[in-house]
Amino acid sequence: MKGVILAGGTGSRLHPLTRITNKHLLPIWDRPMINYAIEALVKGGVSEMMLVTGGTHAGEFLRLLGNGDEFGIHRLLYAYQDKPGGIAEALGLAEKFVGGDRAVVLLGDNIFERSIRPCVDAFKKQEKGARVVLSHLADSQHLRHLGVAQLNGDRRIERIIEKPKVPPSEYAVTGIYFYDATVWGVLPRLTPSNRGELEITDVNNWYLEQGLMEYDVLDGFWGDAGESMEAYYKVQDFVRDHPVNRNDS
């Protein structure tokens, strides 16, 4: 399985901090934000990865990460997204790198308290399809700004609704996704949303419509440090006081 870290975008929700650098290079406690995503994949057993970024600060990732050796990466490649076109478009840049292998896709601003290794292992055992990771959030106001899973009576995901006015459940979709090779045939079929971007939620809903989506529910803290300035500092506070990407043992 290969890892794809998505670290592009304009970071507009973290202005003015992102006027001077890519948001994924901003500090979270004692390290750049991107370090936590890399650590999550490496501790999850993924040692080959591609980092997709863009903008005027893309070269700073190479200066920070180099060939990835010191971070436990066996092979690290980079891809450049010419303009912000959405998460799904950024993922498309990794097709040749992933090849016919399976992929775990991680948004570089997501921070997890617990190791994602159980999710990686579960997807390895999954025969085909895709997998998402949910986090239980009781704050309905917060859920209105996220992708939320709509569950049926059998606790299967029926649909993922992006930024719902009325959240259909208390389960948010985190920024980690698992796909088989079918995803490369799905991406070209997407049409831009009203934001002018190719949305990863549309990819996930395609898998749901085919009955090819499984999910895990996270234990512990999950935070999207790029969601807002408030979320950025909430993640800062958590990381200052708690270990992250930790194994249950």
CATH code where residue 105 lies: 3.90.550.10
Residue 147 neighbours by CB under 8 Å, 6+ apart: 160, 161, 162, 163, 172, 173, 201
User: Is position 246 within any domain?
Assistant: no
Query: What six digits make up the tokens of 27?
Result: 């500090």
Average pLDDT for 149-177? 95
User: Is position 187 within any domain?
Assistant: yes
User: Is position 156 within any domain?
Assistant: no
User: Is position 85 within any domain?
Assistant: yes
User: Is position 214 within any domain?
Assistant: no
User: Is position 81 within any domain?
Assistant: yes
Domain ranges, residue 81: 2-132+175-197+220-241
Domains in the chain: how many in total? Answer: 1
C-alpha closest to that of 36 among 236, 249, 230, 248: 236
Beta bridge partners of 223: 111
User: Is position 56 within any domain?
Assistant: yes
Pairing of strands 103-107, 171-179: antiparallel
Per-residue pLDDT reduced to its tens digit, 192-245 = 888 888 899 999 999 999 999 999 999 999 999 999 999 999 999 999 999 999
What whole-number distance in Å separates Cα of residue 55 and Cα of residue 65?
17
Per-residue pLDDT reduced to its tens digit, 115-127 = 999 999 999 999 9
Q: Is the pLDDT of residue 249 over 60?
A: no
Secondary structure element (H or E) that encloses residue 109, with its range? none
Average pLDDT for 166-182? 97
User: Is position 225 within any domain?
Assistant: yes
Quote the distance between the C-alpha of residue 226 and its chain's center: 11
Per-residue pLDDT reduced to its tens digit, 102-111 = 999 999 999 9
